[in-house]
Amino acid sequence: MTLAEKRQALLDELSPFEDPHERFQYIIDRAKSAPGLDAKYKIPAFLIEGCTSNLWMYPEFNDGRCTYHSDADSVITKGIATLVCEFYSGSTPHEVESTDTDFLAEVGITQHLSPNRRNGLSNLIGKIRAFAEHCERNR
């Protein structure tokens, strides 16, 4: 599935929730069933700075594709990070670098985050893109 197709699928999945609280509850419910990270990846090297809660992201590069795994000690942070990591996972570095997560604003997620959570989300996306850029340069 291309990132454009994933984007549309997420818009279709989240758009029915007109109430921001219902949308966040859905994201929280998704987070509860999402796999966490093994403790060996919950280290400072994978910690995303700038969020109120602890957020870790572990990237991998295999067969020309990036995969991102995340976990957090807050379910809302974990839910949003999981959504973003699932969105970018399976994509080439070039696709990751050239695709924005503007769909999060379209469905009303970023507007309802605290400044610290928006900062954490921005830092997560920055780390995702930096990893993709690193993979692209070192192919």
Give the pLDDT score at 89.
96
Give the pLDDT score at 50.
83
* Residue numbers of the domain that contains 22: 3-137
Which residues of the chain fall short of a pLDDT of 50? none
Counting the structural domains of the chain, the total is: 1
Give the pLDDT score at 1.
84
CB 75 within 8 A of CB 82: no
Give the pLDDT score at 51.
78
Give the pLDDT score at 106.
81
CATH code: domain of residue 94:
3.90.1010.10
Give the pLDDT score at 100.
82
Q: Give CA angle at 99 (95, 101), nearest 5°.
A: 140
